[in-house]
Amino acid sequence: MVVTSPSLRACVYGARGSLPNPVASTARYGGATTCLGVFTPDGIPIVFDAGSGLFDLGLELRHHKGPRELHVLFTHTHWDHVLALPFFEPLYDPSWTVHLHSLRGRLDPVRDIFVGSYGKRYIPVPLEQIGAKVTVHELDFFDEVRIGSSTVRCCRANHPGYALGFRVEHGDRSLFFASDAALFEDMLFEDRYHTRQRETCPEVLEEMRGLQQRMEDLVRGVDLLLFDANYTDDEYEALFHYGHASMSHAYDLARRCGVPHVVFWHHDRGRTDDEVDAITKPYVERGQQEGLVVEGARQGTWYELKL
Ligand SMILES: [Zn+2]
Ligand SMILES: [Zn+2]
């Protein structure tokens, strides 16, 4: 239930990677793809990604008491992060103003995806049916967006086809979210398809160090880190060219940046709840020794950061 309160609140509406997989074996962590809802005392919903979890968020917003203005910011436009956009109820309600924010001039901008997803080949509802006032904004890698009295600070995330990570700040509270993001360690992802070759060029490695630093500058000191942890260490060794981080990467990033709570995001599409429990457990236990709260992102979980 979406309510306003003197807290920075966040809810996991979906954290599955690549493909919705809502079956019995994924019921606890959830099968909906990426959608994070952030709610500030201003009452302006800030939504990250339009994976299939966005549908539920749209239903909850029927009862929204705050301003009828909301923002959807896209990490990137891979299928699992945009697929619920035409099923987002506020788009069909003329009382809402919906702002869509995505990376400028990279591959398919969200404007094209938004308009294109209404083609009659895909859905019977015509674009003209939308009643909300929709505005599309383009972001650069290191932009800042002011939303009410909150600030969203962007950074480049390392993922094929480019992506963004986001730090949300409200008063003294903050969180960082990056759903599809390898560390800037083994290769620099741009818009080409990568083969399995680690980067060796000194100039590119230097650029990667700078980009990693800029991301860590935004992660440092947040209250809550929600970060790509799609892979185990072994899977990462085999699949690093797909641009996802491992659980070790997310854990170490939190430790390096003085974060007290890390949430592993983007559960591999075929991973069962029991498997998520098993591979997360060593990090949960290590975190207990080292003062870091660790958990797998679980659909329906709320985080409340009191101001
Ligand atoms: Zn994804
Ligand atoms: Zn992706």
CATH number, position 118: 3.60.15.10
Residues, the chain: 307
Give the type of residue at 304: E
In this structure, the number of other CB atoms found within 10 A of the CB of residue 271 comes to 20
What is the Cβ-side half-sphere exposure of residue 248, based on CA atoms within 13 angstroms?
A: 6
Q: What is the rounded distance in angstroms from the CA atom of residue 157 to the CA atom of residue 75?
A: 8
Residue 126 lies in a domain: yes
Which ligand minimizes its atom distance to the CA of 35? 1
In the chain, how many domains are there?
1
Domain with 147, as residue range(s), is: 7-306
Residue 99 lies in a domain: yes
- Tell me the per-residue pLDDT of 90-115, one tens digit each, with 9 for 90 and over: 999 999 999 999 998 765 667 787 88
Residue 124 lies in a domain: yes
Residue 2 lies in a domain: no
Query: Which residues place a Cβ less than 5 A from the ion ligand 2?
Result: 78, 180
Residue 1 lies in a domain: no
Considering the entire predicted model, what is its pTM? Answer: 0.96
Burial 199-209, CB ≥16 within 10 A → b, else e: beeeeebeebe
Residue 155 lies in a domain: yes
Let me know the angle formed at the C-alpha of 41 by 227 and 70, rounded to the nearest 5 degrees.
70
Ranges of H-type helices in 156-221: 202-219
**Mapping DSSP to helix (H, G, I), strand (E, B) and coil, where does residue 295 land?**
strand
Residues with Cβ within 8 Å of residue 22, at least 6 apart in sequence: 30, 31, 32
Q: What is the rounded distance in angstroms from the CA atom of residue 170 to the CA atom of residue 176?
A: 12
Cα(80) to centroid(ligand 2), Å: 7
Longest C-alpha distance within the chain, in Å?
Answer: 56
Which range among 22-36, 112-126, 165-179 shows the weakest confidence by mean pLDDT? 112-126
Query: Which residues place a Cβ less than 5 A from the ion ligand 1?
Result: 17, 80, 180
pLDDT band at 5 (very low <50, low <70, confident <90, very high): low
Which ligand minimizes its atom distance to the CA of 242? 2
- Tell me the per-residue pLDDT of 45-76, one tens digit each, with 9 for 90 and over: 999 999 999 999 999 999 998 899 999 999 99
- Tell which wins on pLDDT, 117 or 217: 217
> Are 101 and 77 a contacting pair, CB within 8 Å?
no
Cα(81) to centroid(ligand 1), Å: 6
Residue 262 lies in a domain: yes
